[in-house]
Amino acid sequence: MPALSEYEATERISAQARLQAVVHGRVQGVSFRYYTQRLAQELRLTGYVRNLWDGSVEVVAEGHRPALDELLSCLRVGPRAAFVAQIDTEWPVPTGEFERFEVRS
């Protein structure tokens, strides 16, 4: 694949959106990170999911806005054993820093 020009790279990033979410509730020890990774990969998103020290889960994802909206809807439900009490969300400017979606520790 040929390298993108600076203009093409800027256009690609601007067509993207970024979701930063912190999911609260019973979301650790219930496969929430792997549930999120599977969904994000199906939706062709990039970024990561990780457990936080306070028992919540952080999700940072970039991709097309409709796919991010779908991910957020699924995060509100979570896997079968999870209980989602609250999700804090932010929509900052995307950076294009990710190549794939991964689980971080």
Domain CATH code at residue 81: 3.30.70.100
Whether 92 is covered by a domain: the verdict is: no
- Separation between Cα atoms, residue 36 and residue 42, nearest integer Å: 10
The answer to whether position 75 is within a domain reads: yes
- Residue 58 lies inside a defined structural domain of this protein: yes
CA 11 to chain centroid: 21
Expressed as residue numbers, the domain containing 47 is: 9-87
Which residue is catalytic, options 26, 38, 50, 51? 51
Q: Are 61 and 40 in contact (CB under 8 A)?
A: yes
Q: Is 104 a catalytic residue?
A: no
For every residue of 42-61, DSSP letters joined together read: HTT-EEEEEE-TTS-EEEEE
84 SS3 class? strand
Report yes or no on 72 lying in a domain: yes
Give the total number of structural domains in the chain: 1
Of 33, 76, 80, 100, which one is the catalytic site residue? 33
pLDDT in tens, the chain (105 residues): 566 566 555 545 557 999 999 999 999 999 999 999 999 999 999 999 999 999 999 999 999 999 999 999 999 999 999 999 999 999 999 999 999 999 998
Q: Domain for residue 82, yes or no?
A: yes
